[in-house]
Structures are given as structure tokens and as C-alpha cells.
Amino acid sequence: MHDSFDPIETQARQQIRERVARASGPQLPAEPHRHRLARRLRRLADRIDN
């Protein structure tokens, strides 16, 4: 590898590192909280009915 990169390549490498760090970080849930809550409440109601 080269020890000296031009400033544009150095900046590009830094941006790639930041994007990879963000992409590998915790993901937002695919389902909103209120949908999960509604699903749990429906399951609870089904249990009570049966």
C-alpha cells in the first residue's frame, strides 16, 4: 500500500469508512413500535377470547 495518498483519495477513504461504520451499526426496526404494540394487543385479545 502507499503511505501517501492525495487529499481527495484520503477523503474518499474516510467517507467509505464512515459509511461502512453506519451500515454495520444497529438497524432501525422494520416495523414501527405502534404496529408491534397492536400485534401484541391482538394476540392478548385472542388469548382472552379462547
Contact (CB, 8 A) for 13 and 5: yes
The predicted structure's pLDDT at residue 1: 54
Q: What is the pLDDT of residue 31?
A: 78
Q: What does pTM read for this prediction?
A: 0.41
Terminal C-alpha separation, the chain: 67
Residue 33 has pLDDT above 70, yes or no: yes
Confidence of residue 24 (pLDDT cuts 50, 70, 90): confident
